[in-house]
A = this chain, B = another copy of it.
Amino acid sequence: MSFRPPAAPDRFAPRFAELATFMRAPLAEAITDADIGIFGIPYDGALTNRPGARHGPREIRNQSSLIRAVNHATRVDPFALARVRDMGDVPFESMFDIEATHEAIARFSGDLVAAKVLPLGIGGDHSVSLPLLRAVATGGPVALIHVDAHTDTWDSFQGSKFNHGAPFRRAVEEGLIDPTATIQIGIRGTQNAAEGWDYSESCGMRVVFCEELHDRGPQAIAEEARALVGDRAVYLSFDIDSLDPVYAPGTGTPEIGGMTTHQAQVLLRGLRGLQYVGADLVEVSPPLDNGTVTSLAGAALSYEILCLLAERFAT
């Protein structure tokens, strides 16, 4: 009998074959299927610049078929360590309303957390980190490792304080993150005022501008982050625009002078063994991509993040 239910793709099939789920993980049949739940957040209604991140989850799923199981650098196989499932996409009912959409994301993520599923959200614009933090920071403010070209601690834009440049300012205000246990890595790019940079630093965040990362190297930055976070519950947020525009042209707000994917890999692999409570990878905008380089980078770095999460399940 040759039929095989397609909801669980064959990892050993040719990589262009089978349904596109995140890294060929099976589709969850129930929320309790998973130790780690990867899910899409096809929402870009809170961005201030070039759109398209709503298409991110689809294309990252597509490109992630190129990823296999074992990490060549760490020899971690996340699929052997944990039950990894594709949970589908967050369902929306009010996509024109930022706050209602954020509630839907918080509810979906909260259900995962309640079911003891570690959430890995694939965006979508960066505003989605706020509701994710609301879901995971139920026990008090968490530490934050935030990789990005922008501090995203700016304030209102065009009348909304929930835009994609503001989530971490809101998260401080809502007591979701501890700014003194927060590190922002890769920051760069012009601004019309220094206000967001200043906010981060004034509330105690460690801001690593990308020039410092280039000078000291990603391994040193990773070590500093590890020391800062220690054994606290920590959330990891990775904005694809932390990469240089040639590695990630498909994003809304590209800034030259960014990280290479090699630097990002070294950075992430330097962050093993922390107490992750969730993570996201955001701001991949396929319509702005050159071919699929951004989506491929997004998929491959999501895999590195998945490895970090999966090691929590190592025995």
Interface residues of A (CB under 8 A from B): 1-7, 10-21, 27-31, 40, 42, 44-46, 48-52, 54-55, 57-58, 61-62, 66-73, 75, 86-98, 100, 104, 107-108, 111-112, 158-160, 163, 187-194, 197, 209-211, 214, 244-247, 249, 253-258, 260-262, 265-266, 287-293, 296-297, 300-301, 303
Q: Which are the 3 A-B pairs with shortest beta-carbon distances?
A: A6-B88, A51-B51, A256-B261
B245 engages A293 (CB within 8 Å): yes
B287 engages A290 (CB within 8 Å): no
A90 engages B2 (CB within 8 Å): yes
The CA of A13 and the CA of B158, in the complex, are separated in Å by 9
B16 engages A58 (CB within 8 Å): yes
B257 engages A265 (CB within 8 Å): yes
Residues of chain B contacted by A62 (CB below 8 angstroms): 20, 58, 62
A159 engages B94 (CB within 8 Å): yes
Residues of chain B contacted by A244 (CB below 8 angstroms): 260-262
The CA of A96 and the CA of B225, in the complex, are separated in Å by 35
Residues of chain B contacted by A91 (CB below 8 angstroms): 2, 4, 10, 13, 17
Partner pick for A6 among B86, B98, B211, CB 8 A cutoff:
B86
The CA of A40 and the CA of B14, in the complex, are separated in Å by 13
B27 engages A5 (CB within 8 Å): yes
State the majority secondary structure of interface residues on A. Answer: loop
B159 engages A16 (CB within 8 Å): no
The CA of A15 and the CA of B50, in the complex, are separated in Å by 8
Given contacts A93-B159, A193-B70, A287-B52, contact A261 B265 (CB under 8 A): no
Q: How far, in Å, is A3 (CB) from chain B's closest CB?
A: 4
The CA of A163 and the CA of B95, in the complex, are separated in Å by 11
Residues of chain B contacted by A104 (CB below 8 angstroms): 2
The residue among A2, A16, A158, A188 with the most chain B CB atoms within 10 A of its own CB is: A16
B97 engages A159 (CB within 8 Å): yes
Partner pick for A257 among B87, B98, B111, B262, CB 8 A cutoff:
B262
The CA of A92 and the CA of B262, in the complex, are separated in Å by 34
B293 engages A194 (CB within 8 Å): no
Given contacts A194-B70, A291-B249, A303-B190, contact A16 B87 (CB under 8 A): no
Q: How far, in Å, is A57 (CB) from chain B's closest CB?
A: 8
Partner pick for A95 among B158, B190, B300, CB 8 A cutoff:
B158
The residue among A95, A98, A190, A249 with the most chain B CB atoms within 10 A of its own CB is: A190
The CA of A287 and the CA of B53, in the complex, are separated in Å by 12
A100 engages B159 (CB within 8 Å): yes
Q: How far, in Å, is A115 (CB) from chain B's closest CB?
A: 8
B4 engages A88 (CB within 8 Å): yes
- Name 15 A/B residue pairs within 8 A (Cβ), A-sorted: A2-B107, A3-B88, A3-B111, A7-B27, A12-B192, A16-B54, A46-B96, A49-B66, A68-B192, A72-B190, A72-B197, A75-B194, A93-B159, A100-B159, A211-B266
